């Protein structure tokens, strides 16, 4: 019964905020004003789920600068977690194009001017990089999940090169960000967000000077090692938490459809 009430509250909050975002998005070139609605939604979602954040390393970054944040991806709750953890920044994601067709959620993505990619069209991928550079030039930072999808076992996957190509072309510093604990609260394939604590570590920016298309793997390996240095493998007891009784939870169907590139 408690779960049904939380799910109802989630829907009641999400749909009006999405409609408001879509309506205002027509008049917001870079989505900067409507992004504040995204931040409100993320805060409400984490509050309803009983999730607390422990963010370290904020002193490593300058809110007046633009970065490309490279983040490990273990759960769909990573998205509101990053929105809240980096609340001083305007953030846009690079996401697969199919998400735009998700009712309300995808339409709100369009209104906020997130960057979508058609993975089957190389020319579209080039245009997406151009749109990302435009966002950075407008004072917006970009978030990339370099693994390309959520890790099903919690371990770091091999990093894809798209985000690193963007960093080099836009000459924008990369900030490695490590998330620990999100998989325990919403594993891949789960529809209930459990209460608990999530740790976020923001590392020092990495300059991309000297890197080119031919040595992107060196840059990728450097970022991956930095993220891995703060990554903590869930214990066996933690990995069972979502199945335990008494956890506070809310439905998360919209979030469960997301995969990032």
Distance CA 261, CA 254 (A): 17
Enclosing H/E stretch for 140: none
> Which of 57-61, 86-90, 151-155 shows the lowest mean pLDDT across its residues?
151-155
* Token pair of 60 as six digits: 């490593």
Q: pLDDT for 157-195, tens place per residue?
A: 889 988 999 999 999 999 999 999 998 898 777 777 889
Enclosing H/E stretch for 141: strand 141-144
Q: How confident is the model at residue 143 (pLDDT cuts 50, 70, 90)?
A: very high
- The pLDDT value recorded for residue 254 is 42
> With contact defined as beta carbons under 8 Å apart, do 159 and 223 qualify?
yes
Distance CA 31, CA 235 (A): 40
Q: pLDDT for 52-81, tens place per residue?
A: 999 999 999 999 999 999 999 988 899 999
Q: Give which of 112, 116, 100 is closest to 22, Cα–Cα.
A: 112
Q: In Å, how far are 41, 50, 83, 91, 99 from 36, measured between CA atoms?
A: 9, 21, 10, 10, 20
Q: Give which of 99, 72, 15, 83 is closest to 47, Cα–Cα.
A: 83
Q: How confident is the model at residue 17 (pLDDT cuts 50, 70, 90)?
A: very high
CB count within 10 Å of CB 123 equals 8
Q: How confident is the model at residue 22 (pLDDT cuts 50, 70, 90)?
A: very high
Half-sphere exposure of 52 (CA within 13 A, CB side): 3
Q: Give percent of the chain above pLDDT 90.
A: 56
Q: How far apart are the first and last CA of the chain?
A: 36
Region 45-55: mean pLDDT is 93
Q: 2-256 adopts what CATH topology?
A: Glycerol-3-phosphate (1)-acyltransferase (3.40.1130)
Half-sphere exposure of 14 (CA within 13 A, CB side): 24
Does this model's pTM top 0.75? My answer is: yes
- The pLDDT value recorded for residue 3 is 66
- The pLDDT value recorded for residue 11 is 84
Q: How confident is the model at residue 234 (pLDDT cuts 50, 70, 90)?
A: low
Sign of CA dihedral 61, 173, 96, 35: positive
Region 239-243: mean pLDDT is 44
What ranges do the domains of the chain cover?
A: 2-256
CB count within 10 Å of CB 78 equals 26
> With contact defined as beta carbons under 8 Å apart, do 206 and 226 qualify?
yes
Placement of tokens 């956890």 in the chain: 247
* Average per-residue pLDDT for the chain: 85
């Amino acid at each position: 019964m408690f779960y049904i009430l939380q799910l109802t509250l989630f829907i009641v909050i999400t749909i009006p905020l999405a409609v408001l975002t879509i309506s205002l998005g027509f008049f917001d070139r870079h989505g900067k004003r409507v992004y504040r609605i995204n931040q409100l939604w993320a805060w409400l979602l984490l509050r309803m789920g009983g999730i607390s954040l422990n963010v370290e390393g904020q002193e490593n970054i300058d809110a007046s600068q633009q970065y490309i944040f490279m983040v490990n991806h273990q759960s769909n709750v990573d998205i509101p977690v990053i929105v809240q953890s980096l609340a001083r920044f305007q953030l846009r994601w690079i996401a697969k194009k199919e998400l735009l067709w998700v009712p309300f959620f995808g339409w709100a993505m369009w209104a906020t001017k997130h960057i979508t990619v058609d993975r089957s069209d190389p020319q579209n991928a080039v245009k997406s990089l151009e749109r990302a550079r435009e966002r950075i030039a407008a004072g917006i930072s970009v978030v990339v999940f370099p693994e390309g999808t959520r890790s099903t076992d919690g371990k770091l996957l091999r990093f894809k090169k798209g985000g690193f190509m963007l960093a080099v072309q836009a000459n924008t510093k990369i900030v490695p960000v490590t998330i620990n604990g999100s998989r325990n609260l919403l594993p891949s394939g789960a529809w209930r967000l459990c209460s608990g604590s999530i740790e976020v570590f923001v590392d020092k920016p990495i300059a991309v000077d000297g890197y080119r298309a031919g040595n992107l793997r060196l840059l990728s390996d450097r970022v991956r090692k930095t993220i891995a240095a703060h990554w903590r493998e869930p214990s066996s007891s933690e990995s069972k938490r979502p199945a335990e009784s008494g956890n506070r939870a809310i439905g998360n169907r919209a979030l469960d459809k997301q995969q990032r590139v």
